[in-house]
Amino acid sequence: MKITFLGTGGGRFSTISQRRMTGGFRIDNLKGKNYHIDPGPGALVRTYQFGLDPRNLSGVFVSHAHTDHYSDAEILIEAITKGMTRDTGVIMGSQSVFEGFKQFGPCVSDYHRSKSENYLLKPDYVKKIDGFTIKGTKTIHGDPTGVGFQIDEGNLKISYTADTSNFDGLAEYHEGADILICSVLRPGDTTIRGHMCSKNFEDLINEVKPKLAIMTHFGLKMINANPISEAKKITKKTRIKTLAAYDGMSLDINYSKPQYSRMKSLKDPSSSLYKKERETTYQSTLKNKEFDELTINKDN
299 has pLDDT over 50: no
CA trace torsion 1, 128, 98, 55 (10° rounding) = 40
State the pLDDT confidence band at 281, using cuts at 50, 70 and 90. low
91-98 average pLDDT score: 98
pLDDT score of 300: 37
Q: What digits encode the pLDDT tens for the residues 42-78?
A: 999 999 999 999 999 999 999 999 999 999 999 999 9
Q: What digits encode the pLDDT tens for the residues 193-244?
A: 999 999 999 999 999 999 999 999 999 999 999 999 999 999 999 999 999 9
The values of phi and psi at residue 106, to 5°, are -70, 160
**What are the Cα distances from residue 214, in Å, to 46, 118, 156?**
20, 28, 15
Distance from the first to the final alpha carbon of the chain: 49
Q: What digits encode the pLDDT tens for the residues 251-272?
A: 999 999 999 999 999 875 555 5
Give the sign of the dihedral formed by CA 118, CA 120, CA 15, CA 264. negative
Q: What digits encode the pLDDT tens for the residues 146-185?
A: 999 999 999 999 999 999 999 999 999 999 999 999 999 9
